Amino acid sequence: MTDQPDIVAVKNYLLGLQDRICGALATEDGKAAFREDNWEHHHGGGGRARVIENGALFEKGGVNFSHVHGNQLPAAASARRPELAGRSFQAMGVSLVIHPENPYVPVSHANVRLLIAEKEGVDPVWWFGGGYDLTPCYGFEEDCRHWHQVAHKACEPFGESVYPRYKQWCDEYFFLKHRNEPRGVGGLFFDDLNEWPFEQCFGFMQSVGDSYIDAYLPVVRKRKTMDWGEREKAFQRYRRGRYVEFNLVYDRGTIFGLQSGGRTESILMSMPPQVDWRYDWHPEPETPESDLYENYLVSRNWLD
C-alpha cells in the first residue's frame, strides 16, 4: 500500500473507544468501577488495562488498550505474511472480554487493531483486524438476531458482500477443532484488511468498534433480571471451559501478545474467574442446556 497510516488518528480513536465502552459498561453495572493499570512494553510503547470485577452485573471483565513496538514481527503475525518476517512492527488496539455473573447474560468479546510492519528504506505495510462475537450459555433467538443485525448494519456502508464474508470468517475462526463445535453464535471477524485505501479501512474499523455497545447492551438488559440457580451457574462454569480452551490454544491475539512479550496480566484478563471441566459430560435431552448445542452452536443465518 502506498498511502501512509495515520497512527495518531488511530490511537486517539482507540483511546476514546476504550473510554466510551468502559463508561457504558460501568453505568450498566451500577456497582463496580473499572480499575486502571498503565504499563510499559520493554521494546517501547505500552498500554492501559482496565478491569472490572465482582460487580452487580459483571463478574469479571477487561477492556484493554495497547500500543507496542517490537524489533521483529512475531510468528503469529508473519505466518500469513512470510515476506514480512524480520521486520520491526507497531501494534495498537482495544481488546475486551466481558464475563457476566448471570448465566443468562452471554459473554461478549470485541477487538479492533492496527498492525504496521516497518523496514528502513521501504514503505510500511499496514493492516487492520478485529470484530466481535457472542457466547451465550442459554440461547435466545431474538438476542442472536439483534447481535447480527447490528453487525450487518455496521458493515453495510462498505458493501453488501462484507457482512456475509466476515460473518463466515467469524464462524470458521471461533471454532474449537478439538471439540468440533463453535465457541458461540459468532458475529464478525476480519484480519489483514488493507484492500481499500487507509481512510476507508480505518472507517470500517471504527464502524465495527462503535457498534459493539449497540449490539451488546440491549441483550444484557433483556437477560440481567432473569432468575438463575446452581444448575445454571454450573453449566456456565462448564461452558467457560470452552472459552479458556479457545483462548489458550487458538486465539491469535493471545498468541501474538505472548510472542511479542506483552504484559501477561493484560493478555490473560480474558480468562473467566471460575471454570469447571467435567469428564465426558453431555446435557440431558430436551433441556435448555441441550438446546444450546442443537440450535445455537451451529452455523446459521441469523438475519432470516
The three grid cell numbers given for residue 53, joined into one nine-digit string: 470485577
Task: Compute the distance between CA of residue 218 and CA of residue 224 in angstroms, rounded to an integer.
Answer: 10
Task: Compute the distance between CA of residue 211 and CA of residue 180 in angstroms, rounded to an integer.
Answer: 30
Please give the order of strands across the beta sheet that includes 107-118: 35-40, 45-53, 58-70, 88-100, 107-118, 125-135, 186-193
263 is in an annotated binding site: yes
Answer whether 138's CB lies under 8 Å from 102's CB. Answer: no
111 is in an annotated binding site: yes
Task: Compute the distance between CA of residue 211 and CA of residue 166 in angstroms, rounded to an integer.
Answer: 15
Indicate which residues carry an active-site annotation: 109
261 is in an annotated binding site: yes
67 is in an annotated binding site: no
Residue 215: count of CB within 10 angstroms of its CB? 24
SS3 state of residue 301: coil
Buried b (16+ CB within 10 A) or exposed e, 17-55: bbeebbeebbebbeebebeeeebebeeebbbbbbbbeeb
95 is in an annotated binding site: yes
262 is in an annotated binding site: yes
The three grid cell numbers given for residue 51, joined into one nine-digit string: 478491569
41 is in an annotated binding site: no
The number of residues in the chain equals 304
Answer whether 232's CB lies under 8 Å from 292's CB. Answer: no
105 is in an annotated binding site: no
42 is in an annotated binding site: no
99 is in an annotated binding site: yes
211 is in an annotated binding site: no
Residue positions forming the annotated binding site for a divalent metal cation: 99, 109, 148, 178
Residue positions forming the annotated binding site: 95, 99, 109, 111-113, 148, 178, 261-263
Residue positions forming the annotated binding site for substrate: 95, 111-113, 261-263
